[in-house]
Amino acid sequence: MTSCEPGETVGAWLCQAGQVLRAAAIDTPRMEARWMLAEAMGTTSEALLREPRAPVPPEAGARFTAMLARRARREPLAYILGHAGFWGLDFAVSPATLIPRADSETLVEAALAHAPGAARVLDLGTGTGCLLLAVLSEIPAAWGVGVDLRPGAAALAAHNAARLGLAGRSAFLAGEWAAALSGCFDLILSNPPYIEAAAIPALMPEVAGHEPPSALDGGADGLDAYRALAPQIARLLAPGGVAVLELGQGQGPDVSALMARAGLETREIRPDLGEIPRAMVVSR
C-alpha cells in the first residue's frame, strides 16, 4: 500500500481516505473520497484536483471524517451526500427511497419516445420523484401525480419538485399504488419492487443493508407488484396512452403475460446501456 504524506492538506486527506475505502472494498475509493471531501468543504471535486496542497479546515475535516466512517460501513454514498444525479437533474435522497439509478433513465427515454405530448402523467411508486420530474422537465405542458406507499418518500418527492421548480405541475400522495385515484392518464410510469425476496440478502451491502426493503421486495418470484399494477394501469390508462414499467433481468416475458391478461399489449421492451431489457412499454 502506498504511504501518504502527513499533513492537513487536501492531498493528504484524500490519500488516507482512499486507503480506508479501499480496505472497505469500495470500487472507486479515491473518487468517492474526493466527492465527500468536496461536500464537506463546500466546494467541487474539480477544485480539489486543482489545489491538492490547499489546507482542510478543522470543521470540514470533522465532517469528512464522519462521512468517511459511514461509507466504510458501506452506507450508500448518495445517502451520505444527501443527493444524486438523474437525467441531468439533482435529486435529494434519503433512506426512505431508492437511490435513482442510471438504468432507470431508460424509462424516461421510452416515455418521451412513445408519449411526447402527454398531458397527464402518473408515477406509481414514485420514490424521489425522479421519473415523473424528469418527464415533466422535458414536456412543459404536462402535469403529473406521484404516489408512494411511504409518506416519507412522497414528502421527499414533493421537496424535489420544489427544488426543481416543478411544484406547480405536480402533486405527490402517500397510498397503495393507484387505489385512491380515478380518471385517465396519458402516461403511466412505474419502477416497482421486482427483486425476488430470497435474493435480497445476497445483494451488495449498500442495497441489502440500507435501501428500503419495501422498494426492493417483489415477493417470492419478483412479480407481485406487476400483478397489482396490471389492472390499475388498465383502469387508468387513457385511450392512446402508454405505460412504461421498469423490469428486472429476465422478467420481460412474465410481465408481458401479466399485462396481456389485463388487456394490455406490449409495444416495446427497451434495453438499458448494459443491454439488459429494462423498460417495457404497454398500451391498451
pLDDT tens track for 1-25: 567 877 799 999 999 999 999 999 9
Instruction: State the angle between helix axes of 130-138 and 105-114 in degrees (0 to 180), rounded to the nearest 10.
Output: 40
Assess contact for 247 and 218: CB atoms under 8 A. Answer: no
* Average pLDDT taken over every residue of the chain: 96
End-to-end CA distance of the chain: 60
Please give the pLDDT value at position 7: 75
d(CA 222, CA 193): 7
- Tell me the residue ranges of DSSP E strands in 65-169: 83-86, 89-92, 120-124, 143-148
Please give the pLDDT value at position 2: 62
Please give the pLDDT value at position 110: 98
Please give the pLDDT value at position 5: 74
d(CA 44, CA 268): 40
How big is the CA angle at 261 (ends 256 and 266), to the nearest 5 degrees?
A: 30
CATH architecture entry for 94-283: 3-Layer(aba) Sandwich (3.40)
Q: Residue 277's pLDDT band (boundaries 50, 70, 90)? A: very high
Q: Where are the domains of the chain?
A: 10-73, 94-283
d(CA 211, CA 221): 20
Q: Residue 153's pLDDT band (boundaries 50, 70, 90)? A: very high
At residue 251, does pLDDT exceed 60? yes
Q: Phi/psi at 257 (nearest 5 deg)? A: -65, -40
d(CA 191, CA 175): 15
Q: Provide mean pLDDT across the span 87-113.
A: 97
Assess contact for 170 and 148: CB atoms under 8 A. Answer: no
Q: Using a CB cutoff of 8 Å and minimum separation of 24, what contacts does 84-89 make?
A: 84/128, 86/128, 86/130, 86/134, 87/130, 87/134, 87/137, 89/130, 89/133, 89/134, 89/137, 89/164
